[in-house]
Amino acid sequence: MMYKLLNKGREESLECILRINDNDTLTVIVCNEEVPEYQEYLKWLEEGNTPLPADGGTVIDNGGTE
């Protein structure tokens, strides 16, 4: 299992992390401390692990105005 940082689509988009599972399937996890899967990620970080970097900049596009 590994984690990878994800870009936000726009500034208002939810901040998420990508979990790459052992069978190569993927789980996108919302970065919210109440979410058990995100708590597991934080524990994984505390154990000294480092996620893979995101593919590019932090915000890709402002998405216009809703």
Partner 1 sequence: MAISKIPSAGFQDNVKFRNIIINGDMSIAQRGTSASSLTGGANSYDTCDRWIFTRSYAGTWTQSQSTDVPTGQGFAKSLKMDCTTADASLFTGDYLKINQLIEGQNLQYLKKGTANAESMAVSFWVKSNKTGTYICEILDNDNSRSISKSYTISSASTWEKKIIDIPADTTGALDNDNNTSLLLTFWLAGGTDYTSGTLQTDWGSLTSSKRAVGQVNLADNTANEWYITGVQLEAGTTASDFEFLPVDVNQQRCFRYYYRINADHNYQKYAHGFATSTTLQYMFCNFPVEMRAAPSTLDLNTLSLYTIWDGVSTRTVSSISYDASGKFFTSLAVVGSGYIDTRSGILQSSGNTSTYIGWGAEL
Given the complex with partner 1, which of 11 and 50 has the nearer CB atom?
11
Nearest residue to 3 via CA among 33, 35, 42: 42
Residues that bind partner 1 (CB under 8 A): 6-10, 12-14, 16, 18, 22, 24-30, 32, 35-38, 40, 55, 60-61, 63-64
The C-alpha angle with vertex 15 and arms to 31 and 18, in degrees rounded to 5, equals 70
Residue tagged 């402002």 (tokens): 62
User: Residue 36 CB, nearest distance to partner 1 (Å)?
Assistant: 7
User: Please, which residue, 13 or 51, has the CB nearer to partner 1?
Assistant: 13
